Amino acid sequence: DPKIIQKPKYLVAVTGSEKILICEQYLGHNAMYWYRQSAKKPLEFMFSYSYQKLMDNQTASSRFQPQSSKKNHLDLQITALKPDDSATYFCASSQPGLGEQYFGPGTRLTVL
């Protein structure tokens, strides 16, 4: 059974639209993360949350907003989508601090 669920697996959006990427983890972890992978930057850290609180934000744009409604959920809302946002977005989780991070299957986003 998958321990980290990401939905949807594939997502196609038009420029200017808004999408939400879903992430749920069932590993009992208290820290969750978002990373982005594209041809330009192989694996790039975006956000980290610990006990549902934002710990680090390396995303320059406010168009990217994480949302944590439950302790095992960390969704990513992206507004005003641009073609440059096209990438695979990975959610990961760990115990807080130096815990081993495990990645979800990813959501592949294409912005036309």
Regarding 52 and contact with another protein (CB under 8 A), the answer is no
Tell me: does residue 44 bind another protein (CB under 8 A).
yes
Own/partner pairs, 98-106, CB within 8 angstroms, 24+ separation: 99/29, 99/31, 101/33, 102/3, 102/4, 102/27, 102/29, 103/4, 103/35, 104/2, 104/4, 104/5, 104/6, 104/23, 104/25, 105/2, 105/4, 105/5, 105/6, 105/9, 106/6, 106/9, 106/37
User: Is residue 103 part of the contact set for another protein (CB under 8 A)?
Assistant: yes
Asked if 45 touches another protein (CB under 8 A), the answer is yes
Q: Return the number of the residue (13 or 93) whose C-beta is nearest another protein.
A: 93
Residue 1 binds to another protein (criterion: CB under 8 A): no
Nearer to another protein, 12 or 55 (CB): 55
Nearer of residues 79 and 103 to another protein, judged by Cβ:
103
Residues in the site for another protein, rule: CB under 8 A? Answer: 31, 33, 35, 42-45, 48, 50, 55-56, 58, 90, 94, 96-106
